[in-house]
Chains A and B, each alone.
Chain A
Amino acid sequence: MAAVSLMAAAGTSVTIPTRERHLEALRLIGIAVERPVALEFTSLAKYVRKSILEMAMLAGTCHIGGAYSMVEIVGSLLVDVMERYPRKSEVGDRLVVSKGHCVVALYAWLAVLGITAFEELSTFNALGTALPSHPDMRKNPWMHFSSGSLGQGISAAAGMAWGLRRSSQHKVFVIVGDGELQEGQVWEALMLSTQLNLTNLCVIVDRNGLQTADPTSVVVGVEPLTAKLAAFGFDASVIDGHDRKALSMSFNYFYRGDNRRPVAIVADTRKGFGSSILEDSPRFHGSSLSDEDYTHIRSDLYA
């Protein structure tokens, strides 16, 4: 097993196995966030990114770039908007992470906020875990839908919205990636949502401009995106996806029910936001991080 030598306070060399190092780092984050109510949003978001980093190292692989781009989006929903975040079996709002490969961001937020057990984060993508790389609602009671194969989440969210509208005032959020919009089913779902006027449905596009290996614009461009969403009948807007205030204002406009059509929010983000080595780099779509990468990212997050 790989090991790391550290210079301890007494000046002696200590060798710690790599896995233990990351478990310890995660444990320390867990202690730091024990009282999340007292922590400011920016600090919470930073702890979320730190947690994701350790989870990525423990699991060996992670879609860290796309997870980092949606940290503020998920955080704002949970902290500023949703009355509470329910289990899938409970009555309440719904959050579908259609870009399921980045669900690690939701796992980390739920743990940092104390909704789920923080120590469970160390099991990310391990055999038998409730926290697999893509959400599995059969394994995790906090996941409102399973995803992984892109393009299905808006359809499911629309179904939830239509079903909920008959019986409650609850809202449905769905987060999609911009590359994901290349899937045709997405547009089927948008058309039906408009036809049914699902005003309790909010589609959030995490527009980080990158997909698996290349910029979205180079592969199959989705622009002009806001115009397309508006043309498909949505109340569409663009905001800075890392600006908590902007996110909160837009989400709460929808949550209050001020909208007359289904809402689409294009959140401009940066893949890997929060670390200079990760930001806008296609290298970190879904790969392993070297020790060198880890050290660099860690120094950014702990600066």
Chain B
Amino acid sequence: MPDGLEPRELFAERLLDRARRDDRLVALDADLHHHTRSSVIAQHLPKAFLNVGIAEQNMVSFAAGLSAVGMLPVVFSFAAFLTGRAWEQLRDSVCHTGLSVAVVGTHYGFTSCDDGPTHQTFEDVALMSVLPLMEVWEPIDVDDIDLLVRTIDVGRAPHYIRLSREKIVTYDSSWRVVEEGLRLFRSPGRLMVVTTGIHARYVASILRRRPDMGDVGLCCITRLKPLPLGGLREVCTGASHIVIISEQQVSSGTGPAVALALQGRVAVSILGMNGGFGEVGPQDAVRRKYGLSEDCVEQWIAEKLHSNWNENSFA
């Protein structure tokens, strides 16, 4: 897979740039700043940073209070803690009030395998997507990150941003922007692969070295909610089988959302975490065990490419 930049690093750098010019911007972290990289702001612009301590619920409602008096808060923590423990605060203090808070979750899914299942969330997208008003983003390109930092503003809808610690963000002109939140790598033949996050990179790498998969299309959703419906339907036109690959539980989040958006015209298969928890171990080995490594994804796509979908039966 081609080298790239860590989204969390790039986001922090861009946020620092913005904070130097806009003193309304404040980064808040629940004592994980060295891991989320909000430490970049802490180090270079301390007046724009606050470590609230190990208190995610307080952090979120505190951020809402900041927003209520015209500040621009960006809260950081591990995705598992922020979207889990502080879910109700995100619902009531942020979404129900309509106050603008940017919510950054790192170390989701298998992007981190050192700390085990309590830290590895596959549910964060679903938990955030179900909240009224909350947008959900998972950037893969430098331009995506620039957009997210640039659009932090009073009155902007609350938004959750998944930021990986894997080097998945690049300037890659292979990915054409179809509309905001959707990038197209290749138009489909029979099979269209719809991805988010690191799996966009995996599948692009696979398609580049597999000429026998020339009929396989690939796109990446970077704005998971609201789904870029128009563009998604446009790029999937012509495909009879959509496969969705995402570092999420298959039962919820992006997979079912895309399936619903495209229902009636195509067969849908979803690859992700199959209702379980994560696990500790070397990252490649853990990904492979759960079928989400690049080679497992390659095998899965090959199977789908050669499968026979019968519209009179359940897949």
Q: Which residues of B contact A216 (CB under 8 A)?
A: none
Instruction: Flag if A149 contacts B88 (CB, 8 Å).
Output: yes
Q: Say yes or no for A71: interface residue by CB 8 A criterion.
A: no
Given A145-B68, A189-B62, A192-B58, CB of A155 within 8 Å of CB of B93 = yes
Of the listed stretches A5-13, A158-166, A271-279, name the one at the interface; the rest are far from the partner chain: A158-166
Instruction: Flag if A152 contacts B66 (CB, 8 Å).
Output: no
Q: Which DSSP category, helix, strand, loop or mixed, fits chain A's interface?
A: helix
Q: Say yes or no for B96: interface residue by CB 8 A criterion.
A: yes
Known: A146-B93, A188-B55. 20 other contacts (CB 8 A): A88-B68, A136-B96, A145-B64, A146-B96, A147-B92, A149-B92, A152-B61, A152-B93, A155-B89, A156-B61, A161-B65, A162-B62, A162-B65, A163-B65, A163-B69, A163-B71, A166-B23, A188-B57, A188-B58, A189-B62
Instruction: Flag if A159 contacts B53 (CB, 8 Å).
Output: no
> Among residues 82 to 96 in chain A, which have CB atoms less than 8 Å away from a CB atom of chain B?
88, 94, 96
Q: Given the complex of chains A and B, what is the CA–CA distance between A184 and B55 in angstroms?
A: 10
Q: Given the complex of chains A and B, what is the CA–CA distance between A96 and B69 in angstroms?
A: 13
Q: Which residues of A contact B65 (CB under 8 A)?
A: 96, 145, 155-163
Q: Say yes or no for B139: interface residue by CB 8 A criterion.
A: no
Q: Which residues of A contact B63 (CB under 8 A)?
A: 159
Q: Say yes or no for A148: interface residue by CB 8 A criterion.
A: yes
Size band of the A side of the interface? 20 to 34
A162, closest chain B residue (CB) = B66
Q: Say yes or no for A289: interface residue by CB 8 A criterion.
A: no
Given A152-B89, A189-B58, A192-B55, CB of A160 within 8 Å of CB of B98 = no
Size band of the B side of the interface? 20 to 34
Q: Say yes or no for A182: interface residue by CB 8 A criterion.
A: no
Q: Given the complex of chains A and B, what is the CA–CA distance between A284 and B63 in angstroms?
A: 35
Q: Say yes or no for A239: interface residue by CB 8 A criterion.
A: no
Spell out B's residues near A (CB within 8 Å). 23, 50, 52-53, 55, 57-58, 60-71, 73, 88-89, 92-93, 96-98
Q: Which residues of B contact A149 (CB under 8 A)?
A: 88, 92
Q: How far is the CB of B234 from chain A (nearest CB, A)?
A: 34
Instruction: Flag if A155 contacts B61 (CB, 8 Å).
Output: yes
Instruction: Flag if B71 contacts A145 (CB, 8 Å).
Output: no
Q: How far is the CB of B2 from chain A (nearest CB, A)?
A: 41
Q: Given the complex of chains A and B, what is the CA–CA distance between A160 and B97 in angstroms?
A: 14
Q: What 0/1 readout, one digit per residue, does chain A (170-194) give for beta carbons within 8 Å of chain B?
A: 0000000000000011001101100
Q: Given the complex of chains A and B, what is the CA–CA distance between A137 and B67 in angstroms?
A: 13
Q: Say yes or no for A296: interface residue by CB 8 A criterion.
A: no
Q: Which residues of A contact B58 (CB under 8 A)?
A: 155, 158, 185, 188-189, 192
Instruction: Flag if B53 contacts A191 (CB, 8 Å).
Output: yes
Q: Which residues of B contact A94 (CB under 8 A)?
A: 68-69
Q: Say yes or no for A228: interface residue by CB 8 A criterion.
A: no
Q: Given the complex of chains A and B, what is the CA–CA distance between A195 and B52 in angstroms?
A: 9
Q: How far is the CB of A272 from chain B (nearest CB, A)?
A: 27
Q: How far is the CB of A182 from chain B (nearest CB, A)?
A: 14
| A156, A185, A188 — most chain B CB neighbours (10 Å) | A156
**Which 3 pairs of residues, A with B, have the shortest CB-CB distance?**
A159-B65, A155-B61, A188-B58
Q: Which residues of A contact B97 (CB under 8 A)?
A: 137-138, 145-146
Q: Given the complex of chains A and B, what is the CA–CA distance between A138 and B68 in angstroms?
A: 11
Instruction: Flag if A160 contacts B61 (CB, 8 Å).
Output: no
